Structure 1
Amino acid sequence: MTRPDAHERYEELAAGHALSALEPEDEQVFLQHLGACARCERELAVHDATLAHLAYAPDDAEPPDSLLASIRAGVLASGRGASFSQHFDADADSAGRRPAAPVSLAAARRRRTDSTLRRSSSWTGIAAAAALMLGLGVWNATLQQDRAEQDAWGDRMAVAVRELRDADTDTVPLRGDGGAVVAVALVRGSDLSLVVDGLPVNDDATTYVLWGQSRYGDVRPVGAFDVAREGVDVQREMQVQAGIADVTRFMVTREQGEQAPPIPQQAVLASGNV
């Protein structure tokens, strides 16, 4: 059923814009609309965050045989597996034939034989289940958000995207011990936002603290923050006390308590030079 929503077209254009897939005339229509639409800014921020996750996602991997066996068993149990031939059984049949060797996903996609088409309904169920299980880790946190929290997250992402596109914003990647970027400081004068992507969720007994180290070596807290969800989030309304001109390095620690101590008490988890 089609949604009775006049804004649906712009949601589709937002997805196309994020993928750089719009025709010039559609691009112009969307950009004219975007400047006055907070809803589309949120949609675009979500698409940008999704593409960022996909850019850093690992390469496709073949699912283990145990996973495929479980999916097949689930399809059979649902009553939709009547068209499965015996060579999909985990064990050999009564004639002693060996079970078929596993087929890679890439090879399965290339095979368009008549028998595959006859089993399309069953294969659709398997493919959907596999896609759901492989994608569940990425989307599970999002699906559990209520609408108000999701909108608030979208607003924060929209602000971060605007700041990233602002020529006056300096970006400072903060890297962990393994070299991976776990946060990015967005600095505009003395105002600062922190895009977090990779720090573990902290408990009620601890808090993360962003520190600024001056050219003279002294360290001052910029702000305390919590990581309440896995994946990308934005910490806003932080401020460098002495002005960005005096800060040469940002650092993140995880401290005991709910507020930042005067000086770091724990090991540095991530850092980056301005």
Structure 2
Amino acid sequence: MYWEPDSDWTALTAGTGVSNGGVWLTPDGLVAKRLLPGVERADHYAYWRRQAEVAAHGVVERSVGLRGPRCVKVESDPDGVTVWSAAVSEVSFEPAELALALGRFGLNEFEPAEWFARRILRDRLAGDERDAGWARLVLEDRLPAGLRRDCGVLWERRDELMDELDRLPQQVVHGDAHPVNLLGREGDEVMAVDWEQFGIGPLGFDLGYLVASTEAAIDVLLPAYQSGSRSSWPDDAVRRGAVLTAAITVVARAAWSLGQVEPGDHIERLCRLAQVVEEAARQAL
């Protein structure tokens, strides 16, 4: 029989990706997340079983900085996997609070498993290469000429930029650290959900995602991150990783959105982050 949620479950989100079959709140206060078969390469950013692996191993249930909700059970069936976890009560955070938590999270040390994501940006760029790259942005008249030029520089230098990120210190990353996934609080820790891209990434990666998804400037977020990390790494190295990650992410999302029926606000967000993109492009030359 095909899997389906019980009629008394409350939908929290519909399926938003190839492997996300939806999220529900059950009457007994648990969250059920449905995972559907997709990418099978275990270190790929979109590996479909990763959230189940994170939950089943409990790897982030006691981490510092960010913490995952308690896993109750993981159930597999012929159609997919259902992950059951404790619900997280939402609270509001200032972006600097989240940056501090991300700095603390980067200090965690885990024994890497085969299912840790390891090539998030490289894999995303490889997908863009199969879809005409960022060529649509060149003709997008909503973008200033200078911003279109900077996007082109990042695309042309993408391999060198990926190599530069690889040379930075590598650390544990949430992988999708934007505010909608950083929901609650448990003592001093931020409770985070959606660990589908959890793994190892370059210094500043999670901070870059936060830069790309909030209104706060990197000059505000970087000191908070460094406070959380106890300045374990040089400011310029953290900033470089964050700027490259934010720029590549926001440009790639904008290029992707131009081919969608409902493009969202990705072009507007790209314009807002024009200075970050310019910084990344300037240093790429």
Sort the TM-score into its range (normalised by shorter chain): under 0.3
TM-score when normalising by structure 1: 0.24
Larger Rg: 1
TM normalised by structure 2 equals 0.23
Structure number with higher relative contact order (C-alpha < 8 Å, ≥ 6 residues apart): 2
